Amino acid sequence: MVVGLEAWPANIDYSKQSIEIPGTKTEGQSGIWKSAVFDVEKLTAPDEPKTLTQLFDDSVARHPNRSLFLRRGLNPPSSLNAEPTFSNTLIPTTYAQVQTRRNNLGSALLALEREGRLRSNATSSASPLEITHPGIPHYGNANRAKAGARRGWAVGIWSKNREEWQVVDLACQAYGLVGVSLYETLGPDVAKYITNHCPLSIIFASANHIPSLLKIAPECPTLRVVVSMDNLASAEHNVLSEWASSVGVELLNLEELEKWGQQGDVATAPGPIKGIPEEEELDRGRIVTISYTSGTTGDPKGVVLTNANLVYAAISNAKGNDSALVGREWTYMSYLPLSHIYERFLHIVVMYGDGTIGFTTGDILRLMEDAQLIKPHFMAGVPRVYNRIHAAVKTQMAAGGLKGALLTKAVNTKLANWRETGSVTHAVYDALVFRKIRALLGGNLIFMCSGAAPLTADVHEMLKICFSCDVVQGFGMTETVGTCSRGMGTDIGAVGTTGQIQPCNELKLVDVAEMGYTSKDSPNPRGEVCLRGLNITPGYLHNPKATAETIDKDGWMHTGDIGEMDSAGRLKIVDRLKNVVKLSQGEYVALEKLESVYALDPLFATLLVHGDSTRSHLIALAVLDPIQAASLVSSVLGKNVTPTELKALEELVQDKKVRKAVLKGLGRKAKQQKLNGFETIKGIHLTLEPFPEDVLTPTFKIKRNVAAKRFSKEIDAAYAESESGGVL
């Protein structure tokens, strides 16, 4: 059997990708669907890993000297007070080197517990609290000591994507601890909430987050240790250490912890305690992480995920890949936040597939610069990132002249070839046109995937044409370890869908009759997507109410997403229960679906469509692209202003004539897409100021309730203008 990446079967039947199990259909719901390509038994075969630690150690054994991580080096500061800059060299770390770091750090973590340095006066326990959940095996009150230390307690991580993030998480996996990520961009209030909710006694943080942690420490009674992932200058360390001590926290250094962990009296072997059979079984089923949802509503929920959940999700995604990616050295570019489960499980897939992870600088504006150094074969993204690529290409196509005409001809020719033959290459146009576009992302891309929200068919196909590679959509959520279904890159019919059901789970569609979605719909059944399987969370930490609302008595998780299964067994997400509003005249409107249509206009950097049950029409909040905004202002107002003159542009786009032009453009788009009249935007607020971070999730979804409160004045003004006769 094949362990690691596996290509799609050569004789695959695209018309039969998922199958509805006979005899499972009941009134009010579809039958149960499962993968027709790979059986679940393939995931649980004896040779496959059963825990994350086994998965990683098996990869180390196969390729100990292969690079697991690549990171950009730093140039020394040009002056005493200057910040260091990134160099154009990549520094590798091998699988074996990471394994050593993991073992050293894991040993040190157990030693900290053994010495009582993580104990809190806030609990009656003499040790950090073990994280437990009903029905999930845990170490229990006896908590067999490993090297004299208790296990099952949580370890926080607060930093952008970097090698040390994974070293900490791998150590937690191998030493019986629970990894918990704090979102890089959501700020100290969310960090405080997670620290207290979990609770956390120790947090690893990059230097920039340490002051924030020390500020909230007096309100986090279980927090005892903060570990700097960066080597602090002596003066900086002294100041922070004194501050930490004053709030009852010990400040440590990651490098020093690793050195301590390799000492003979501290070093401890990874994995379950040897010679105790029940330890192996417990390790397979235990909680390995609490992944807090970034959430578009309310406080984040702590999603409980087990070793088995993550392992089977990763193996499912490794079964079925472009054959060009299999059996070779390959690199994945990491820039989506590791605090989100989507990026996190992709890292596990890379390790399982013996690949290399190239870390970017973390600056989205330098993504292309990073890609040209890392030269990835595989990258993941979300629609907001891919939509900007699509918009840039469409702008060039519309620019006119020889270059615009050549690009248009090249795109249309390749698009026709793809739709007819499934080929995404063209000898002439790839050399003349698309070689330069491919080079923007390093020139080596074989595979691109999209998740977090639906990707439109136009964008999906444009990516395939421009980068001459497989592009697939997947569907998943934190509660499913980021996966549930996934497309095949060579399947022409998969465009606009999220593909076949993954072998790790089953799916059914439950009627939502009040919204017009039923399992009896023609030509395809539709309804709320419900899932169960090896990758599905057992529930939410300390939240039995939310668990019961999400997972029913038969083990089906209700996602809140509306799906459709086509005749080939491919899933398409068509709506979202929470993103549907009922207008005052009784019409239901799918806001996210409309945003995916309107936001393809290159004019918009971000677009929020807003509806209200007390109103009869929709309005929008739009963040404009400066280049496109400058062109718009010039054509509408006859005033020349450069894209860099942001203050002047911001004033000019407030002109009523500009709003009128934008709304007319949106109206044309609505007619082209055959939208209903009530789906047309009637009022709009324009700005060049990006939405603040607290309005967006780490995967760039808009938190509608937060946005509605933050921009209440702008929303009211847009409605007032549209209801008084508008600008049209």
Position 592 scores a pLDDT of 81
Segment 374-412, tens digit of pLDDT: 999 999 998 878 888 888 888 888 888 888 899 999 999
Asked if residue 294 has pLDDT above 80, the reply is no
Residues 6+ apart with CB under 8 A from 631: none
Classify domain 583-723 at the CATH superfamily level. Answer: ANL, C-terminal domain (3.30.300.30)
Predicted confidence band of residue 80 (pLDDT cuts 50, 70, 90): low
Identify the pLDDT of residue 11.
87
At residue 78 the predicted structure's pLDDT band, cuts being 50, 70 and 90, is: low
In CATH, what class is 52-72+92-285? alpha beta
pLDDT of amino acid 395: 84
The tens digit of pLDDT for each residue in 521-541 reads 999 999 999 999 999 999 999
Amino acid at 174: A
Give how far Cα 291 sits from Cα of 219, 376, 484, 628, Å. 22, 27, 17, 38
Instruction: Output DSSP code: residue 689.
Output: S
Q: Which of 388-392, 418-422, 436-440 has the lowest mean pLDDT?
A: 388-392
Q: Which residue has the higher pLDDT, 471 or 576?
A: 471
Q: What is the pLDDT of residue 251?
A: 98
Give the residue with greater pLDDT, 278 vs 256.
256
- 65-79 average pLDDT score: 86
pLDDT at 208 over 70: yes
User: Rounded to whole angstroms, how far apart are CA atoms 456 and 181?
Assistant: 31
Largest Cα span, the chain: 81
Which CATH fold topology does 320-475 show? Rossmann fold (3.40.50)
Q: For position 697, what pLDDT does the model report? A: 72
**By three-state DSSP, how is residue 91 classified?**
strand
The pLDDT value given to residue 157 = 98
Read off the DSSP letter of residue 324: G
Residues 6+ apart with CB under 8 A from 727: 656, 659, 660, 663, 721
| pLDDT at position 295 over 60 | no
Range(s) within the chain of domains with CATH label 3.30.300.30: 583-723
Span(s) in the chain for CATH 3.40.50.980: 52-72+92-285, 320-475
Mean pLDDT for the stretch of residues 126-140: 87
pLDDT at 501 over 60: yes
Residue 152 above 60 pLDDT? Answer: yes
Q: Where are the beta strands (DSSP E) in 115-218?
A: 154-158, 178-181, 202-205
User: What predicted TM-score, i.e. pTM, was given to this entire model?
Assistant: 0.85
Residue 265 pLDDT > 60: yes
pLDDT band of residue 596 (cuts 50, 70, 90) is confident
| CB proximity list for 717: less than 8 A, separation 6 or greater | 685
Distance CA 430, CA 427 (A): 6
Question: How is residue 678 annotated by DSSP?
Answer: G
pLDDT at 300: 86
pLDDT digits (tens, 9 = 90+) for 108-131: 999 999 999 998 765 555 568 899
Torsions phi, psi for 229 (to 5 deg): -80, -10
Does residue 76 register a pLDDT over 60?
yes
